[in-house]
Chain A
């Protein structure tokens, strides 16, 4: 095992102490996220640990930041904003929580999914050892992409201790607009006509548009569209995943707000559990990375979930 940074030592020791005495252990952030009914087991962990928080090293000219997984996202945003940058992670909890959940926010169309923001992770594994996955540079194909598998794994494959995240410059300007009386055909037309909007939201009649860039470009793009300034609309609290075309159909059929071009629909009831592909691969990943289900026992491992559908 590599030398463990002092800041991660307490977390590593706590996890190792738990698993070596056959106790279950969970990692906790700020508990701002939501777990769905099919994701929870009902078991209560014996021990709870927290990842360290705080920005360790921000390098604006490299567009990377190293921070503890327990870092408060709002604190991180404030540090990055001082140098005109941002990180594309949603929510108001911890960095580790946002990455473990893996859900993007409404800007995914332009800014990409959460998984693209993570370059390197230091992960505490099921034996209480620290594992490095990925690397600290934006371009890196050194070995297999373990980080990607852990994003969205809800801590069932290991606990995030620290990250290197990709940062981005903040745009010169960013504004929301809304266009009224937009039917399905007009949604398609506007998707083709707008250059790289960061978000398009449609509720069946109104289309909200978020544009980022030079203020004059934003003015030019919106003047001929009948768009008026707006705020981000209030969204129903559950997000459903489907194809982009199905998302538009779903909004027409039964309300909700669709992320156009992405395939997320925001609705007021939870997304039902969907079948998981490659059941055997998921089960083997459980067996390799959380064999006794001592890590996050309150969350259903993905192999178990896949098997329950099979």
Chain B
């Protein structure tokens, strides 16, 4: 059957990739008009490709119709990166969810972008009977987020302190460029022929093309794990412990902190036995070989005590370790008990400046008559201030935005960066000039033009432009950091 040259985009796609993979109904188009952020856009067409060829068909059709497209994984992003603007076609890779091959000896796997982060680890773990294997980046959304999304956002997670973020765990990507060609960037070979375009794709927020296959690096599970919880009267002592541990030459697998309000909310929610009278708790995990773990654990406890840590709790069992981590990873489920809405920020500051920036955050939030909880990757200086509020209060959104902007500005002024792991998307696009001048941004724009001269892949994100910005509204259920 020949295709009519005047076929509409949805007719052409239904013909080329199958009508069951093309959706135009209100339910799908509404569902896919936003990600897990509060920013909504609109789309009239959602596609569910199941192969590289399907993605190629979609991209070529979009190119011919001059329609932009937005690729998305599970939509757990918090910065509006997958929010469709200008009626962009949404390309959901969620059905491209196969682990294609696993090489347990050289520790790598080829996967499709719709594989869930935790499913990848579950799928490869048993391939190494001695140690077990895992995919190191572990964002708190890992049971729901996809590897493709991790690549798009260069995702982090608590264990990236020692292991590095997603770019360190992606060896290669197959990409459909916006001209419809398929290219392999990096891969099984040790060094790329040509420039590191693989590195450019990671963290490009869907603006350089569509990733259709990924070669990931797998990591041996550590033979020994020690998980500890320290509690402090003062959050500054916890932060000072973190700096002292690193300065002493140790890089724990994770260094996570919660402040007073957060501890109380979490304890109400999961009953992990957290000290609700503490000003801060610090969750420390040390992993590796037996003697190294014992050595580091002893020194870290000494350092914590010398920084006025009140109690040391060591997980005595896998169940206790899981409970301590559950408290950390489900912190946001606990928030609804305080206020119905929240707005989450994600900035990074130098570790040594954590105490003063936290003080500034408390002051900013109090000045705006709001509440804030802090649960964050202290080892990386990656802050996650969580402003809680009830949006039914008149004028509250203005205060939330004003406080949020001051928090971002304070973080950058302290020598930090706009985002540690959530990305820029729409949310922080207009803050980019806080960190980069016109020449810096022009260089980033040039990089994007080299990949997508037609400006079809997820336009209007990351780089500031005069176009409209999203607005925070009700936060969807099931948000993680």
Residues of A at the B interface (CB closer than 8 Å) are: 1-2, 59-63, 83-85, 102-103, 108, 112, 115-116, 123, 125, 129-133, 135-149, 151-153, 157, 168-170, 172, 188, 191-193, 195-196, 213-217, 220-221, 241-245, 247, 259, 261-264, 274-278, 280-282, 284-285, 287-289, 302, 305-306
Contacts and interface: CB of A to CB of B under 8 A. Distances in A.
Given A195-B223, A241-B189, A141 B153 contact: yes
A221 B131 CA distance: 14
A134 B80 CA distance: 21
A139 B348 contact: yes
B443 A133 contact: yes
Contact of B160 (A139, A217, A280, A305): A139
Nearest to A131: B443
A282 B424 contact: no
Interface string B235-252: 000000001101101110
Contacts of A63: 246, 251
30 contacts: A132-B437, A133-B443, A135-B417, A136-B415, A137-B420, A138-B380, A139-B160, A141-B165, A141-B419, A142-B428, A143-B444, A145-B199, A146-B200, A192-B105, A195-B131, A213-B292, A214-B292, A215-B291, A242-B190, A243-B189, A243-B190, A244-B103, A244-B190, A261-B107, A263-B189, A264-B191, A276-B194, A277-B183, A277-B194, A284-B453
Interface of B: 103-107, 128, 130-131, 153-154, 156, 160-161, 164-165, 167-168, 177, 179, 181, 183-185, 188-200, 202-204, 207, 220, 222-223, 243-244, 246-247, 249-251, 288-292, 295, 348-352, 377, 380-382, 415-424, 428, 432, 435-441, 443-444, 446-451, 453, 462-463
Contacts of B450: 281, 284-285, 287-288
Contact of A146 (B290, B350, B447): B447
Query: Among the interface residues A125, A146, A245, which one has the most CB atoms of the partner chain B within 10 A?
Result: A146
B214 to A, nearest CB: 16
A217 B416 CA distance: 37
Nearest to A265: B190
A214 B298 CA distance: 14
Nearest to A274: B193
Query: Among the interface residues B195, B199, B381, which one has the most CB atoms of the partner chain A within 10 A?
Result: B195
A130 B443 CA distance: 10
Contact of A149 (B200, B243, B250, B295): B200
B440 A2 contact: yes
A141 B377 contact: no
A84 to B, nearest CB: 5
B199 A170 contact: no
Contact of B177 (A112, A274, A278): A278
A141 B451 contact: no
A59 B194 CA distance: 34
Contacts of B188: 243-244, 263
B443 A241 contact: no
B220 A196 contact: yes
Contacts of A287: 450
- Contact residues of B: prevailing secondary structure: loop
A276 B184 CA distance: 10
Contacts of B243: 61
B191 A137 contact: no
Nearest to A158: B443
A131 B193 contact: no
A116 B153 CA distance: 17
B106 A145 contact: no
Contacts of B289: 195, 213-214, 217, 220-221
Contacts of A138: 161, 380
B256 to A, nearest CB: 13
B223 A125 contact: no
B449 to A, nearest CB: 6
B203 A144 contact: yes
Contacts of A60: 246-247
Contacts of A59: 350, 352
A1 B437 contact: yes
B249 A244 contact: no
A215 B436 CA distance: 45
A79 to B, nearest CB: 15
A288 B104 CA distance: 41
A214 B418 CA distance: 37
A115 B103 CA distance: 24
Contacts of A244: 103, 106, 188, 190
A277 B185 contact: yes
B382 A139 contact: yes
A214 B350 contact: no
Given A142-B419, A144-B444, A170-B249, A264 B190 contact: yes
B462 A62 contact: no
A103 B290 contact: no
Given A59-B350, A142-B424, A144-B447, A2 B191 contact: no
